[in-house]
């Protein structure tokens, strides 16, 4: 075992990626921001952080009462932004557009079975008001918590906006979560109402949302007084007359006007539960004005959103990406957004590309896990469809391997669409580090530079900034930003411990490791908890995985450490091949080849000691690799983690080398 003194304190970088992709002239010429205007924005943010955000807040949001105070840091790490102002998010997303955009399509919806709907801004506004009046009629009021457990249909967004309209705090629970997870979240939030549906369509099956809600409420959730049920699938469900109300009955006699509840800037807009690396889920609490401001500016800066765009973010509204870039961001800027209910592979893996073609999608935003999965299916599916309307692509959720980036760039973007690799978190509310597509070149695998007004840096153990290029360290944010989380619901101590204690309240700790290259570009190396320590070298997981994925036979890879008496940690790789999995999971020749390949690509230090092949990798419901589970498997310990949410539980046998 390496002793403390021989252990290199910083995280080493071994990945070499030097390709540079400047935006195409066609994109630059129409972009909202170019190099000059971006430089100006950066400068004004640097000169006066607070005034920078204050003028944006005045320009971009519509206030019922103007604020006079910008940032209040007296009670740090509890920060308040624009705190003496008042506004309403649903007013900002809907009413303020009606004069000019009332008849513009706000939402284009496609169900998994092919049904489509289009709703104008005026229609969404009317539905939101009626539903908000319905909520009020059953006694829901300002400050109450409301859980939304819905399929990806327009009513999910309508429900969110209706809560915002009356000042109720929503907590959206992803429809793929079990009754047990739903119950935990309801109880932690002390919610008074659940908004759900009979079911949703996903993967050719019905997701039994109402049945799961019944199960969650059967043993606990004492605070729940009402369950509102949208009829989506029309299949038989149990109905408790005393507790349950159909959505259509609730809104039937409601008027189409509902005065927005003007709330303070700091009023909690929503809670969103995110599972930490250990322990129970954290209810991340977001604000009203600050949250909305960063959603709006990133729609403009990063997505270059224009009046005639069709914007499609594939995330479920159960994740932060669905909050900021399905619901709030697109509507707050008056855009047309697309919502798709189902799975990417129904009826076949061409579905996303068909939707892009049929609805003339211009901006497409998805996760690397989806890109890799679709890449694995080959180029034929995307080639079948007309993707020429696409002008900008985006990714989020994980580091994207250069290999997958290149596929996205060539096969989907036809080498003319910039790719925005956006780094951010549930806690940050909106994009933090990302290219500005018309104003700077991109590099495959790098999220490039912090946005104007975001003070991201990489620091060592002591909190000193690392200035040597390519030396890894802790990713931190040094100045407060408007859409930062405000606390963890019901556990303020955990808020302080998790995000602020490491650097004594000075910096926000993101929990990721990262490095900056010679151009100052940021490269995310993985979660801090996942860093490997091989013979005293601290290695991020990302780079080894990228080297594996760069091999023509590899579609996906996850690397974890396994305790090793000599090296401290050995490298254990789980690999998904582009073709079939080897018989019984054994292919000595390929294993040798892959070990040599990694050794050649990045050096012998990164060569995996063991490689195991599986049909898929275990992922969380939001598509992130479950590395903690893989660590358990690599060490050969008994699995204690909850694996019931795995899409394909059968792969556990393969990962354990038993099948």
Residue number with CB closer to ligand 7RM (367 or 466): 367
- The single residue among 425, 535, 599, 656 that binds ligand 7RM, judged by CB under 6 A, is 425
Query: Which is it for strands 11-12 and 537-539: parallel, antiparallel or unpaired?
Result: parallel
Residue 396 touching ligand 7RM (CB under 6 A) = yes
Find the shortest distance in angstroms from Cβ 115 to ligand 7RM: 29
Find the shortest distance in angstroms from Cβ 423 to ligand 7RM: 4
Distance CA 228, CA 338 (A): 25
**Binding to ligand 7RM in span 329-358, by CB under 6 A:** none
Distance CA 320, CA 228 (A): 23
Residue number with CB closer to ligand 7RM (111 or 394): 394
Other Cβ atoms within 10 Å of 519 Cβ, number: 13
Alpha carbon 439 to chain centroid, angstroms = 24
- 209-218 and 179-189 helices, crossing angle to 10°: 60
Residue number with CB closer to ligand 7RM (110 or 512): 512
Closest CA to 421 of 436, 403, 438, 411: 436
Residue number with CB closer to ligand 7RM (199 or 290): 290
Span of 216-224, 287-295, 396-404, 479-487 interacting with ligand 7RM by CB under 6 A: 396-404
- The single residue among 285, 321, 513, 616 that binds ligand 7RM, judged by CB under 6 A, is 321
Element of type H or E holding 339: strand 336-340
- The single residue among 426, 442, 601, 654 that binds ligand 7RM, judged by CB under 6 A, is 426
Residue number with CB closer to ligand 7RM (162 or 559): 559
- The single residue among 110, 127, 316, 398 that binds ligand 7RM, judged by CB under 6 A, is 398
Query: 377 and 522 in contact (C-beta within 8 Å)?
Result: no
Residue number with CB closer to ligand 7RM (127 or 316): 316
250-269 footprint of ligand 7RM as x/- string (CB under 6 A): --------------------
DSSP at 530: G
Find the shortest distance in angstroms from Cβ 411 to ligand 7RM: 20
Span of 50-58, 143-151, 235-243, 423-431 interacting with ligand 7RM by CB under 6 A: 423-431
**Binding to ligand 7RM in span 494-553, by CB under 6 A:** 510-512, 524, 527
CA angle 296, 300, 52 (to 5 degrees): 70
Residue number with CB closer to ligand 7RM (429 or 452): 429
Find the shortest distance in angstroms from Cβ 525 to ligand 7RM: 9
Q: Any idea of the CA torsion for 241, 243, 247, 251, to the nearest 10 degrees?
A: 90
Q: Any idea of the CA torsion for 236, 238, 239, 242, to the nearest 10 degrees?
A: 180
Residue 424 touching ligand 7RM (CB under 6 A) = yes
Residue 399 touching ligand 7RM (CB under 6 A) = yes
Closest CA to 390 of 338, 330, 447: 338
**Binding to ligand 7RM in span 597-636, by CB under 6 A:** 622
Find the shortest distance in angstroms from Cβ 529 to ligand 7RM: 10
Task: Give the total of residues touching ligand 7RM (CB under 6 A).
Answer: 20
String of DSSP letters for 48-116? -HHHHHHHHHHHHS--SB--S--EEEEETTEEEESTT-EE-HHHHHTGGGHHHHTTSEEEEEE-TTS-E
3-state helix, strand, coil in the chain (%, to 5): 30, 25, 45
Contact residues toward ligand 7RM (CB under 6 A) are 274, 320-321, 396-399, 421-426, 447, 510-512, 524, 527, 622
């Amino acid at each position: 075992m390496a002793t403390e003194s021989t252990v290199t304190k910083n995280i080493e970088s071994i990945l070499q990626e030097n390709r540079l992709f400047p935006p195409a002239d066609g994109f630059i010429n129409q972009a909202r921001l170019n190099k000059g205007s971006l430089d100006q924005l950066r400068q004004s943010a640097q000169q006066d952080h607070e005034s920078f955000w204050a003028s944006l807040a005045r320009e971009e949001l519509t206030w019922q009462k103007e604020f006079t105070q910008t940032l209040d840091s007296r009670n740090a790490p509890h920060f308040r932004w624009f705190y003496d102002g008042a506004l309403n998010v649903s007013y900002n997303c809907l009413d303020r557009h009606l004069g000019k955009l009332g008849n513009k399509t706000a939402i284009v919806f496609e169900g998994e079975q092919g049904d489509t709907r289009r709703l104008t801004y005026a229609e969404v506004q009317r539905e939101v008001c009626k539903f908000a009046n319905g909520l009020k009629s059953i006694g829901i009021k300002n400050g109450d918590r409301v859980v939304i457990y819905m399929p990806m249909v327009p009513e999910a967004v309508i429900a969110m906006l209706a809560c915002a309209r009356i000042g109720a705090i929503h907590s959206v629970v992803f429809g793929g979560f079990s009754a047990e997870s739903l119950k935990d979240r309801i109880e932690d939030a002390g919610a008074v109402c659940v908004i759900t549906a009979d079911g949703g369509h996903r993967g050719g099956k019905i997701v039994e949302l109402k049945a799961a809600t019944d199960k969650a409420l059967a043993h606990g959730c004492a605070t729940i007084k009402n369950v509102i049920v949208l009829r989506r699938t029309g299949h038989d469900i149990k109905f408790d007359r005393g507790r349950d109300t159909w959505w259509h009955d609730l809104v039937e006699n409601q008027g189409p006007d509902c005065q927005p509840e003007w709330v303070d800037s700091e009023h909690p807009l929503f809670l969103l539960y995110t599972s930490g690396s250990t322990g129970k889920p954290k209810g991340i609490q977001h604000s009203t004005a600050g949250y909305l401001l960063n959603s709006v500016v990133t729609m403009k800066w990063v997505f270059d959103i224009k009046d005639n765009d069709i914007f499609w973010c594939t995330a479920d509204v159960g994740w932060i990406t669905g909050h900021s870039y399905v619901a709030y961001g697109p509507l707050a800027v008056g855009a047309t957004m697309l919502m798709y209910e189902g799975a990417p592979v129904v009826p076949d893996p061409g579905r996303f590309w068909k939707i892009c073609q049929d609805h003339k999608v211009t901006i497409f935003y998805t996760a690397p896990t989806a890109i890799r999965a679709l890449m694995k299916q080959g180029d034929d599916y995307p080639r079948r469809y007309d993707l020429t309307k696409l002008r900008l692509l985006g990714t989020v959720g994980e580091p994207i391997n250069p290999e997958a980036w290149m596929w996205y760039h060539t096969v989907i973007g036809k080498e003319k669409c910039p790719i925005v690799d956006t780094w951010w978190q549930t806690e940050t509310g909106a994009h933090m580090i990302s290219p500005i597509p018309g104003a700077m070149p991109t590099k495959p695998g790098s999220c490039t530079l912090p946005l104007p007004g975001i003070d991201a840096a990489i620091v060592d153990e002591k909190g000193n900034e690392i200035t040597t290029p390519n030396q890894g360290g802790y990713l931190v944010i040094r100045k407060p930003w408007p859409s930062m989380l405000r606390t963890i619901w019901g556990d303020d101590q955990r808020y302080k411990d998790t995000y602020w204690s490491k650097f004594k309240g000075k910096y926000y700790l993101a929990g990721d490791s990262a490095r900056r290259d010679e151009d100052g570009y940021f490269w995310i190396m993985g979660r801090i908890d996942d860093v490997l320590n091989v013979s005293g070298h601290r290695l991020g997981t990302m780079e080894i995985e990228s080297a594996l994925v760069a091999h023509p036979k590899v579609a996906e890879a996850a690397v974890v450490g396994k305790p090793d008496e000599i090296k401290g940690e050995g490298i254990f790789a789980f690999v998904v091949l582009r073709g079939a999995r080897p018989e019984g999971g054994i292919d000595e020749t390929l294993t040798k080849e892959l070990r040599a390949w990694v050794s050649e690509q990045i050096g012998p230090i990164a060569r995996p000691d063991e490689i195991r092949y599986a049909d898929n990798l275990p992922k969380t419901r939001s598509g992130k690799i479950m590395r903690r589970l893989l660590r358990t498997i690599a060490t050969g310990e008994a699995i204690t983690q909850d694996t019931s949410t795995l899409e394909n539980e059968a792969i556990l046998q393969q990962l354990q080398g038993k099948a």
